[in-house]
A and B are shown apart, each in its own frame.
Chain A
């Protein structure tokens, strides 16, 4: 099985996940993992579905597998932060979110999770800073989306 084929399978799974058809998405992700367990994106995508279906502990394990294969996988760090937040492990979530935002400074979600967790830990000033960064990025993304929409019209 080539990486190209795994990528195709993941693409199908992603399409289902986007439509919240998680069962079908999981089937594709599991297939991809059985064919090539060394491909980190499969672990990451499965973690995303596990979070959306309320299984943060399992999602965390999948994130760890993705990160064991690629320590600089920014999205996996971001997802790990989300899993840790859902498990109410706020200190650890801050660390994971910080790593995610260091690897990818444009990850609005990572900054936001960092803000929420810092808030939970009572570190208000730092939380405000993280929220501010998250908002900046969201606004830039939103403006881009608006521009694309106008161009389409």
Chain B
């Protein structure tokens, strides 16, 4: 890696370790419109001309916020790279059949919900049809993100004590954004899926709340907006938010998911030597955790473990898969032009 940006010691170390361990290169790119959580464009997911992975972060992140983004994405890169080198790097993809199974299940659950609604509140049929794939796709993204997010954050926390305060700020911010997700569509989405979506984020937040102790908080508390959380544990801070969301009564789902996350991640030796074996172990844990969560949500047959290339191709085919699934569900009731969101 060659950069003119100032980087703190632990960040330079993790970049060097990652490059050496994976025999690859990391490039850092500042972009004004980058996603607040940064983006990793890596050689294990995308077909790249050169053996160079790019970590993109918002241009306004000049100090520790930038460092945390780099640490997070280096850790994820190590997990992906270890999987690639020691076995095969796979993620949750989909195909024609799995899309069909998922969309059918969502349709059945939607019908159950719609049956309970007053006539004036019922979802128009075209909206209902559109929603099926959108929701399916949403869960595909979530299962490919949430378990890894928990693992990567826990690993960064244990390995990089100097950026813990920054990490805490990121987690609080991310949690807030994730909590707001789907809220505007709460009345439209079948209750079951709204609750499951929130439950996954709840489990991640609570797991991280247990992982990050509160004594790391002090400098963040100098920020006026954070003052109300003074003297609270991280767990209390996140609970404070969750108890103010609409789905709290259904938190039993979230608690069960937290038990699942705990079961898989509680015994991890986060401070074990940072070898390829260690990161491969984290990859396998992520796969097992994802499987357990999808089983719990009865979505096991919605997705297939496949290569990143398969997922990229599936994204290109999604319009086609959606149309075929709609045909299977509705038969001739659906026109050839409908679907394909």
Chain A interface (Cβ < 8 Å from any Cβ of B): 18, 51-54, 56, 82, 85-86, 108-109, 111-113, 115-116, 119-120, 128, 131-132, 134-136, 138-143, 145-146
Q: Of the candidates A115, A132, A140, A143, which one forms a contact with B165 in the assembled complex, judged by CB atoms under 8 Å apart?
A: A132
Write out the residue numbers on chain A whose beta carbons fall within 8 Å of the beta carbon of B60: 138, 141-142, 145
Looking at B61-69, B133-141, B248-256, B306-314, the stretch in contact with chain A turns out to be B61-69
User: 22 A-B Cβ contacts within 8 A?
Assistant: A53-B4, A54-B2, A54-B4, A86-B4, A86-B6, A108-B62, A111-B63, A116-B9, A119-B8, A120-B9, A131-B8, A132-B165, A132-B219, A135-B65, A135-B165, A136-B219, A139-B169, A139-B220, A142-B36, A142-B60, A142-B65, A145-B60
Write out the residue numbers on chain B whose beta carbons fall within 8 Å of the beta carbon of A85: 6
B166 interface contact, C-beta 8 A: yes
Chain B interface (Cβ < 8 Å from any Cβ of A): 2, 4, 6-9, 32, 36, 58, 60-65, 162, 165-166, 169, 173, 219-220, 222-223, 225
Cβ-Cβ contact count across A and B, 8 Å cutoff: 75
Instruction: Verify B9–A51 contact, CB threshold 8 A.
Output: no
Q: Given A52-B4, A139-B223, do A119 and B9 touch, yes or no (CB 8 Å)?
A: yes
A145 vs B35: C-alpha distance when bound (angstroms)? 12
Write out the residue numbers on chain B whose beta carbons fall within 8 Å of the beta carbon of A108: 62-63
Write out the residue numbers on chain A whose beta carbons fall within 8 Å of the beta carbon of B165: 132, 135
Instruction: Verify B6–A116 contact, CB threshold 8 A.
Output: yes
Write out the residue numbers on chain B whose beta carbons fall within 8 Å of the beta carbon of A146: 36, 173
Instruction: Verify B9–A138 contact, CB threshold 8 A.
Output: no
Instruction: Verify B4–A135 contact, CB threshold 8 A.
Output: no
Closest Cβ neighbor of A111 among chain B residues: B63
What is the minimal beta-carbon distance from B178 to any residue of chain A, in angstroms?
14
Q: Given A136-B219, A139-B220, do A82 and B6 touch, yes or no (CB 8 Å)?
A: yes
A42 vs B129: C-alpha distance when bound (angstroms)? 59
